[in-house]
Amino acid sequence: MATANQVRFDNLLKKGDLIESTSEMTPEYLKELKHTLIVSGDTELISAPAYYMATKRAPSVNAFMTGIAIIQDELAHAHIAYHILEELGDDEETLIFERDPKSFRYPYAFDVPLESWPELAIANAFYDQAGFCLLGDIHEQCSYGPWKRGLVKVMAEENFHLRNGRTWMKRIAAAGGEAKDELQRNVDWMFPLTVEWFGLPDDRKMHSTQLEYRLKGKTNDQLRQWWLSTVVPYCESIGVKVPAHQEGENWVLDYPFPCTFDAAEKRWDFKDPCSWDDVLVRWRERGPRNVQMVADFQESYRKLRAARQQ
């Protein structure tokens, strides 16, 4: 027999009303909500050190300041997610500074170093577009009021990030020569990584709980199609090649999905298809920069805490 809280929760979801407090949730809903917030917070947080390495190689002071502004935005976005988690009973400092690096939940793409300004431009255009799709879907469908309202600021700023990436990709492509060749080489490894961003295909992982709880509205493959529908036409418009094309209303990849990736060399082997079990192993092992990036901000925190205790 359903409890009074379960009945109230079911009624809120059925009517499309927002849930505003833990007193209106079931334990299962709280668990799924926290999972969604952890992934969002971790992704925003880890993007800061991921972007900083490339920002240091900005071609001008103005470009550098734009990169720093984007990093500042990402940290603020992470704080929104972590702060909501703290309101739900978790400790924000523990979540950020006490966890093992491999326990952070963010897309594998950030574990592969961004070492140049063109790579940062592509990351803004590809990775932030992926974030815009994921968070845009959550913002539209989200049943938890504080998170839905918090995403208003996030969505506006993510739009700025991806526009910065598109502006620089277009500028570099228009320059031609070696600059465009370098851009293309980086697109070659970053495009498939972002296709992976949306997770397992729908035939491997259904999202019934998240969809049922209105914590997202689209499946992984639907989100992937949304991303492809924005990125592929843009790349084609600036003369950058990507391995995907449109067939009817769907976007189709021109390579086996999944296939083997050499993170150290930043190179895909499209002639070597692999299984999703292989991909899951790579994701769980994390990539070249996972430990370094987490150690950077955790070490700074420990030094600050030690200084305060003196």
- Residues 36-82 pLDDT 10s: 999 999 999 999 999 999 999 999 999 999 999 999 999 999 999 99
Question: What's the mean pLDDT when you consider all of the chain?
Answer: 92
* Cβ neighbours of 76 (radius 10 Å): 13
* Cβ neighbours of 49 (radius 10 Å): 19
pLDDT for res 1: 56
Q: What is the mean pLDDT of residues 15-32?
A: 92
Local confidence band at 9 (pLDDT 50, 70, 90 cut-offs)? confident
pLDDT for res 5: 77
pLDDT for res 20: 94
pLDDT for res 3: 77
Which residues does 196 contact at the CB level (< 8 Å), separation at least 6? 107, 108, 109, 258, 279
Q: pLDDT at residue 200 above 90?
A: yes
Tell me the per-residue pLDDT of 87-145, one tens digit each, with 9 for 90 and over: 999 998 889 888 888 899 999 999 999 999 999 999 999 999 999 999 999 999 999 99
pLDDT for res 310: 66
Tell me the per-residue pLDDT of 166-195, one tens digit each, with 9 for 90 and over: 999 999 999 999 999 999 999 999 999 999
pLDDT for res 278: 95
CA distance 48 to 186: 20
Q: Yes or no: say if 286 and 113 are a contact pair by the CB < 8 Å rule.
A: no
Q: pLDDT at residue 267 above 60?
A: yes
CA distance 157 to 14: 32
Q: pLDDT at residue 276 above 70?
A: yes
Q: What is the mean pLDDT of residues 253-281?
A: 96
pLDDT for res 2: 63
Local confidence band at 6 (pLDDT 50, 70, 90 cut-offs)? confident
More confident residue, 306 or 117: 117
pLDDT for res 299: 80
Q: What is the mean pLDDT of residues 1-13?
A: 78
pLDDT for res 206: 62
pTM of the shown model: 0.93
CA distance 157 to 169: 19
At the top level of CATH, which class does the domain 4-309 belong to? mainly alpha
Local confidence band at 224 (pLDDT 50, 70, 90 cut-offs)? very high
pLDDT for res 306: 72
Torsion angles phi and psi, residue 145, rounded to 5: -55, -55
How do the domains of the chain map onto residue ranges? 4-309
Local confidence band at 8 (pLDDT 50, 70, 90 cut-offs)? confident
Alpha helices, DSSP H only, in 176-309? 177-196, 208-212, 220-237, 276-285, 290-309
